[in-house]
A and B are shown apart, each in its own frame.
Chain A
């Protein structure tokens, strides 16, 4: 998607699937990804089908992504934050089980 008006909103930096993206403060994660031309946010648990945002208002639950290691986050309902790390959710959400050394899977090194 492209922005129809330039404004003075500050930018933040987020990471999507390992790539750094510029995002506008105040935008939802969904908007930020759409601006980066990303329309596929996850694959479904049953058939592994690709899905992306549909309603943009928090009622369809198709925009689920993993944010900072937490699964099943609705991208359209979360505002971008500097340093946020976003991953596509592949199938069912993963919970962060403790690794043998006590760290949690998904914690930043």
Chain B
């Protein structure tokens, strides 16, 4: 088993959501991929993120991808035969002060100039209509209709199952031991066997920097452990996904009644041991932010906290595109907002592999920006 060699059209390093999405899109284009995953599919960021599917507040270069992704999410069943528990109740970024509302207005204007109309300013009354439980002092916010969320566990499993059903091969518990290029063929040796293919895609998430180096590219990915907490099930009280302009907060209530609370609060990652450590003072600040926007939530019980290992780029936007070597491609480093983009990024990579071009603007994400 360990000495067998798998040949494929494409080797994908990393069995997270981007790896599986890439595999699915490649299969639809007639190419057989083999995914080599060091743990099990969805073990890291893909399985434990906040599940946000949004355009609101995105970095401008990501907006075309985010728009295309939203369309895909609304019909995700056609891509992976499952609904991934996608819901689109919209997203609101709450403003607590006039200054915050003005900052949001400035952002809206900036986006209008660039041709994006999805972010709308809402006033106090409109805010209350959308989010009845919001704290009395909130004066308005930004609203994006159609944004929403999905279930990360369900999504990555759905993509995995679809990839398998389309003939992809997945090797788990298979960290890459070595990787070389010989006569135009990439040869990878892993704990579960050898594989070779003319094309290789680096979807190794937080570990993407190390794989990039093996491919002759440079990408200073930082390991981050963003913390999340989830409550016990509660009666439904909020529909849209909630953020706050003046606080680090992301907040959503799932169909099963649990409320997921996150922000940009970091724990500590120990990537070699697949471990993360929580920082309770950060979680406390996160809880305080949630309680400030939803005072009624003070009595909700936090059932569990965790932090997944995510890859963060210094400019907070991902690496997507061709590598320096022929037949090498990258899609990693999504800096805590890659979940939503996954259905579309896989297509982008598949297009690059099959045709050499993509109709999505991805220059800003080139790995070359770090060389």
Instruction: Tell me whether A and B are bound partners.
Output: yes
Taking Cβ atoms with an 8 Å cutoff, the residues of A that contact B are 45, 70-72, 91-98, 104
- The answer for the CA separation of A98 and B235 in the assembled complex, in Å, is 14
Least CB distance from A40 to B in Å reads: 19
A104 to B257, CA, bound (A): 20
Contact B299–A96 (Cβ < 8 Å): yes
Q: List 14 A-B contacts (CB under 8 A).
A: A45-B233, A92-B232, A92-B233, A93-B233, A93-B234, A93-B301, A95-B235, A95-B237, A95-B296, A96-B296, A97-B132, A98-B136, A98-B296, A104-B296
* B 272-313 contacts with A by CB, 8 A: 295-297, 299-301
Residues of A contacting B299 in the complex (Cβ-Cβ under 8 angstroms): 70-71, 95-96
A95, B132: Cβ atoms under 8 Å? no
Q: Is the CB of A72 within 8 A of B296?
A: no
Bound-complex Cα distance A2 to B114 (A): 75
Q: How far is the CA of A94 from the CA of B234 in the complex (A)?
A: 6
Indicate if B133 sits at the interface (CB-CB under 8 A): yes
Checking A70, A95, A104 against B234 with a beta-carbon cut-off of 8 angstroms, the contacting residue is A95
Query: What residues of chain B have their CB less than 8 Å away from a CB belonging to chain A?
Result: 132-133, 136, 232-235, 237, 256-257, 295-297, 299-301
Shortest beta-carbon distance, B57 to chain A, in Å? 26
CB distance from A35 to the nearest CB of B (A): 27
B232 near A94: Cβ-Cβ < 8 Å: no
Known: A72-B301, A98-B136. Contact between A92 and B235, CB under 8 A? yes
Number of A-B contacts (CB under 8 A): 41
Q: In the complex, A71→B136 CA distance in Å?
A: 23
Chain A residues near B300 (CB, 8 Å)? 93, 95
Bound: A104/B136 CA distance, A: 13
Known contacts A45-B233, A92-B234; 5 additional CB pairs below 8 A are: A91-B233, A92-B235, A93-B235, A95-B235, A98-B295
Shortest C-beta distance, B218 to chain A (Å), equals: 49
Pairwise interchain contact B257-A92, C-beta atoms closer than 8 A? yes
* A96→B235 CA distance, assembly (Å): 10
Q: In the complex, what residues of B have CB within 8 A of residue A45's CB? A: 233, 256-257
CB contacts (< 8 Å) of B296 on chain A: these are 95-98, 104
Residues in A with CB closer than 8 Å to B237 are 95, 97
Q: Which residue of A lies closest to B258 (CB)?
A: A92
CB-CB < 8 A to A97: which residues of B? 132-133, 237, 296
Query: Can you name the residue of chain B whose Cβ is closest to the Cβ of A94?
Result: B235
In Å, the complex CA distance between A72 and B257 comes to 13
**Closest chain B CB from A96 CB (angstroms):** 6
Write out the residue numbers on chain B whose beta carbons fall within 8 Å of the beta carbon of A94.
234-235
A104 contacts across to B, CB distance below 8 A:
296
Q: Bound complex: CA of A109 vs CA of B291, how far in Å?
A: 25
B168 CB to nearest chain A CB (Å): 34
In the bound complex, CA of A95 to CA of B133 (Å): 10
Nearest CB in chain B to that of A69: its residue: B299
Contacts of A96 in B (CB 8 A): 296, 299
For B132, the chain A residues whose CB sits under 8 A away are 97
Query: A106: shortest Cβ distance to chain B, in Å?
Result: 10
- Min CB distance, A65 to chain B, in Å? 13
Cβ-closest chain A residue relative to B235: A94
Q: How far is B233's CA from A8's CA once the two chains are assembled, in angstroms? A: 41
A66 to B312, alpha carbons, bound, how many Å? 43
Cα distance, A48 to B301, chains bound together (Å) = 20
Residue of A nearest to B294 (CB): A95
Chain B residues with CB below 8 A from A72, complex form? 232, 301
Whole-angstrom distance from the CB of A83 to the nearest CB of chain B?
19
In contact, B136 and A95 (Cβ under 8 angstroms): no
Residues of A within 8 Å of B256, CB to CB, are: 45
